[in-house]
A and B are shown apart, each in its own frame.
Chain A
Amino acid sequence: GENVEQHPSTLSVQEGDSAVIKCTYSDSASNYFPWYKQELGKRPQLIIDIRSNVGEKKDQRIAVTLNKTAKHFSLHITETQPEDSAVYFCAAINTGTASKLTFGTGTRLQVTL
């Protein structure tokens, strides 16, 4: 089955700096890659996703890039703000086989003032 690795496990940046979280996946047939943000004690919330037919997607300060050849995808947050502090999870799935969405182990992002 799919295996998703996520790095780093913790990330501390100063407000206004950029943050990058990286994930690799094992199943070359995976074609959908969502990112979730989870604040302490709250539900994981979908913040951005990308499908394998595109290489990059942006939504305001958040962007995701996908390298299918290398089987890795990354989350980029620019101009970080204290409210960006949370745990971020990447995930991958091959929607063609209706297999399960496999999550990474999470990255705890701390944005300091």
Chain B
Amino acid sequence: EAGVVQSPRYKIIEKKQPVAFWCNPISGHNTLYWYRQNLGQGPELLIRYENEEAVDDSQLPKDRFSAERLKGVDSTLKIQPAELGDSAVYLCASSPGALATNEKLFFGSGTQLSVL
């Protein structure tokens, strides 16, 4: 089966520019996550969706970050305007549900963002 698909793979932008990332989760996975991974650190959750509902966005910097999952499948994460400190790898992940019995979380390849 296809894994979690993300695009673009790399993105280089100047500060104050907008940027968007796209994610297609594993088919049938209701839960979708956006994580940010800074260099040398573990992934940190930005937002979690159950179908089309954002059930945990407490770590999302809402002044500049937004996300949507309109039809409960694909998702986009946007930053506007980008700041130098936003440079990181943005990972999308999905799982069938809330990681209950036998459920596992799988990551996409990520988008490496460089803000100049």
Contacts and interface: CB of A to CB of B under 8 A. Distances in A.
Given A89-B43, A95-B98, A103-B43, A46 B109 contact: no
Interface string A76-113: 00000000000001010101001111011110000000
A100 B56 contact: yes
Interface residues of B, number: 25
A42 B109 contact: yes
Given A98-B55, A103-B42, A51 B98 contact: no
Contacts of A103: 42-44
Chain A contact residues (Cβ within 8 angstroms of B): what range?
20 to 34
A55 interface: no
Interface in B2-55: 4, 33, 40-45, 48, 55
Nearest to B110: A43
Nearest to A9: B40
Interface string B84-116: 000000010000001111011111111000000
A32 B109 CA distance: 23
B99 A95 contact: yes
Contacts of A43: 4, 91, 107-110
A104 B56 contact: no
A46 B45 contact: no
A36 B99 CA distance: 15
Contact of A95 (B43, B91, B100): B100
Interface of B: 4, 33, 40-45, 48, 55-56, 59, 91, 98-101, 103-110
Interface of A: 6, 32, 34, 36, 42-46, 49, 51, 89, 91, 93, 95, 98-101, 103-106
